[in-house]
Amino acid sequence: MTQTNNAACPTGACGPSRARSPFALLSPMVRLALGGLMVFSGWMKLGISDLGGLMPQILSPLDFAYSIKGFKMGLSDEVVTLLAFVVPWAELVAGLAVVLGLWTRAGAALIGAMMIAFMAGIASLMVRGLDVNCPCFGAIKLFCSGPLGACHLVRNTGFLLAAVYLMAFGPGPLALEGRRRTG
Q: What is the pLDDT of residue 63?
A: 80
Q: Is the pLDDT of residue 144 over 90?
A: no
pTM: 0.80
Of 26, 33, 32, 1, which is closest to residue 14 (Cα–Cα)? 1
> Exposure of 60 by Cβ count < 10 A (0-12 exposed, 13-18 middle, 19+ buried)?
middle
Task: Confirm if 172 and 3 have CB atoms less than 8 A apart.
Answer: no
Of 25, 59, 37, which is closest to residue 169 (Cα–Cα)? 25
**Pairwise pLDDT comparison (162 vs 13), residue with the higher score:** 162
Express each pLDDT in 17-73 by its tens digit.
Answer: 445 677 778 999 999 999 999 999 898 888 765 555 555 555 677 788 888 898 999
Q: What is the pLDDT of residue 77?
A: 93
* Domain residue ranges in the chain: 22-171
Express each pLDDT in 67-120 by its tens digit.
Answer: 889 899 999 999 999 999 899 999 999 999 999 999 999 999 999 999 999 999
